[in-house]
């Protein structure tokens, strides 16, 4: 067999192996809302749960962090089914005079895919919100500025709107930044190659026009 063909087949085999599906499981735990026919559903992926919280923040929420109310466990199963999960088995347990419905689900996924990324629990939402808040530098004329990447001598900042030259200067002064290289991106263009402006060696660089503007900060 020729060396080139052998390498091609080997790379193809490695790619197939990386895409090989395996089965994962989760458990839905449904409890009826107080004075309501709706149910609140928690999801267990085998994640570590705080003893003191007792798993109380593992219920499913929407993108705004609001608990998703289901008409029944079947309604919850239909929701999960649209995301590719399949029913395995179910049973009911009683805790504190309240029925808790346990539904075991499964899903076949490739090894390089995060099968739970389309689901959000209250705990995950709060953690995500804390991370976003901790990355917030502040605002310039109502434009939010967040650190999205840090390196040894630089950083990248996401802004909700492109900053003007004067606003870029104010970022350095008002947030007391001393990184050697700073790049600026919009939220939907987070790659380094998509930065709209940068600051380096005492200059502001506007990438679209390749324009260099002296920083000249006022003291």
pLDDT by residue (tens digit) across 159-200? 999 999 999 999 988 988 888 899 999 988 888 889 999 999
72-125 residue pLDDT tens: 999 999 999 999 999 999 999 887 778 889 999 999 887 655 666 678 888 877
> Which one-letter DSSP state was computed for residue 84?
T
Taking a C-beta distance cutoff of 8 angstroms, is the pair 44, 27 a contact? yes
Helix extents (H) in the chain: 3-19, 73-81, 122-134, 165-174
3-class SS of residue 33: coil
- 31's CB contacts (< 8 A; 6+ apart) are 39, 40, 42, 98, 99, 100, 101
Q: What is the pTM of this model?
A: 0.51
Taking a C-beta distance cutoff of 8 angstroms, is the pair 193, 219 a contact? no
Radius of gyration of the chain (CA): 25
């Amino acid at each position: 067999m020729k060396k080139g063909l052998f390498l091609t087949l080997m790379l193809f085999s490695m790619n197939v192996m990386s895409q090989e599906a395996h089965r994962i499981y989760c458990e839905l735990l449904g409890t009826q809302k107080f004075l309501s026919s709706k149910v609140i559903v928690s999801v267990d992926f085998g994640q570590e749960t705080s003893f003191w919280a007792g798993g109380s923040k593992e219920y499913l929420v929407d993108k705004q962090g609001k608990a998703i109310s289901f008409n029944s466990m079947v309604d919850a199963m239909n929701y999960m089914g649209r995301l590719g999960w399949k029913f395995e088995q179910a049973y009911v347990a009683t805790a504190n005079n309240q029925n808790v419905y346990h539904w075991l689900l499964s899903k076949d996924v490739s090894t390089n895919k995060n099968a739970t990324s389309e689901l959000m629990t209250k705990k995950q939402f709060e953690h995500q919100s804390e991370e976003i808040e901790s990355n917030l530098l502040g605002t310039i004329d109502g434009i939010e500025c967040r650190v999205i990447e840090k390196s040894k001598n630089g950083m990248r900042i996401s802004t909700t709107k492109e900053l003007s030259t004067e606003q870029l200067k104010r970022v350095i002064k008002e947030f007391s930044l001393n990184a050697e290289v700073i790049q600026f991106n919009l939220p939907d263009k987070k790659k380094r190659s998509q930065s709209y402006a940068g600051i380096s060696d005492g200059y502001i660089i506007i990438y679209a026009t390749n324009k260099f503007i002296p920083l000249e900060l006022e003291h």
